[in-house]
Structures are given as structure tokens and as C-alpha cells.
Structure 1
């Protein structure tokens, strides 16, 4: 389960035990697997009242900030709306690497990895780029590259995500 892996990673990286979790009543947070895990490790799970987003104000504001950033990125890039999920993921990645939390004087990336993020890796969402055409039937006069747009960063390795207009 992703949430259990995430909680374990947070405890190892921050060297602080997770004592309490506050979520909404989504089924991804309220289920037998997580309830058993919380009891096993001594985590208190608090849920907000249904249909009252004001009880999760910090998270709701963070989500709104990400959606506003993603909307701006999509409009600026004149990208198709079906790339909204990529835009949100890229906005989150960018903010985690660049926005400094005043309480700690560090970015979220610094807090988790104990080192400064590499900002030279950043690129503008929607930037035109060219990727090698991997077609097997490439003739002598066929283009050797496809036109793509930069849509984000790979989650588990240092690589980019590119939307290939030819292959979609």
C-alpha cells in the first residue's frame, strides 16, 4: 500500500515517528489495511466530518494552489486539457523543490534529503522539444526527430516526461 510505504519513508528520512494522521473520509485513507497498520504501530487516525473541507484547511489550500499553478501552466503552454494531471504533478514537483517553508528555512526537498535541490534540472512546462524518432520504417528523407512538449519529470529517476505529438 502506497500510504504505508510513504509513512515508513517519512519516519526514516525525518527520523521522527508519525503519531497522528488527519485525513478526510476517502476510502484510500479509511480501510481495514490502514486501520490494522495504524493500530500495529500506534498511529492515531483522525478523520474530518463529511462535506466540511474547512476542517482540512491547510490541505485544501495546498490543493487549490497546485490546481491554480497547473491551470496557469496549461494556459501558458497552450497544452491540451487532458494533460492536467501532468501539469499538477509538475507543479507539485516544482514547488517541493523551490518554495521555502519559513518555519524551517528550507524547501520540502531539503527537509527530506538533507541537501539542496538541483534547480538546473528545471524546465518550463510546455517547452517545445525534439525527441529521436524511433520508428523502424524510417526512410532516408523521413524526419529523424519527433516534435514534443515538455510535460514534467519522471517520478523515480532523473528523466523528463515528454508528450510526443505524433504518437500521442
Structure 2
């Protein structure tokens, strides 16, 4: 990362994508004294670190989907798991430190990790006492706004949280 004069930070890895080139982004950086520059069009060499990280993430996503025998349309679920894994595993880029620990100063809780794509039988909330209390499902990862996990119900192809 390059530093500009007068405590302004030059952000590396900004292409001209709409998620970066908008008023809110410009205002956030200006309010915090951060100077940024966009890379030239079609020059991924200027954003090498970002491009390499995207490639690593894509490799993990493909591996997770392949070993779970899931089609590519579950890429978002695999992406969430890939990011969790990359953040709690030691990184050579950080001299084998754990990104989670470096950022938060705490040890990650590995006991909540489960195998992506494994066969599970999550508990179902039933309305009748004789209905099944579990269904064969595939684990898709952690639920974003719940303390549970996301599953793909193999009978209905619907995602459930349990």
C-alpha cells in the first residue's frame, strides 16, 4: 500500500466498479482524510493483491461446491463458508497468524465449524406430534442473523435454519 503526503491514504485495488464510484464512497473517504485512485480500465496488474485474493476465494468456493456435490447456484453459500475459513485459518501473508486474531485480538471459536455439504438431520418445528422431527439435509453453513446453521432440505430443495 502506498502512502500519500499529509496522512492521506492511497487505497490499492479500486477498479471503476459502481460499488466504488458513487457518492457515498467518495464522501466516506473524504470525511476520513483518505485519498483514493482508480486503476486504469482492463489492467488487473494494478490491483494484484486484490485479484490474487479473489482467485484464492474462488478456489475455495469451487472446492467446497465440488466436495459437497452442489451445483454452482449455491456459490453464495460456499462464499460465506470460504470467507469464514480464510479468516480463522493461519495465513502465510500474515506470517502464519490468524486474520481473525490479528483483527479482533481474540482466538476464533473452532467448535462452531461444521463440514460444508455434509448430510445432516436438523430439527424441524412440527405442528403435529406424529410428523417427522428431522429431515435429510445438506449443511450450507452458518446462519447470518441466527445462532444456528443453514441447511438445504433434500426433500423440498428449500433452505431451512435450525
> How many residues are matched?
150
Structure 2 alignment gaps of length 5 or more = 1-6
Q: Tell me what 1:20 maps to.
A: 10
Instruction: Considering fraction of residues, name the structure with more helix.
Output: 1
Classify 1:164/1:20 alpha carbon distance in 2 versus 1 (closer, same or farther; 3 Å): farther
TM-score (norm 1): 0.78
Q: Tell me what 2:117 maps to.
A: 126
C-alpha separation in 2, matches of 1:131 and 1:160: 9
**Superposition map of 1:14-163 within 5 A:** 19-22=9-12, 23-103=14-94, 105-136=96-127, 138=128, 140=130, 142-155=131-144, 158-163=147-152
Structure 1 alignment gaps of length 5 or more = 1-16
TM-score (norm 2): 0.81
Q: Tell me what 2:4 maps to.
A: none
* Residues 126 and 132 in structure 2, CA contact (< 8 A), matched pair in contact too: no
Q: Which has the higher contact order (CA 8 A, sep 6+)?
A: 1
* Residues 128 and 150 in structure 1, CA contact (< 8 A), matched pair in contact too: yes
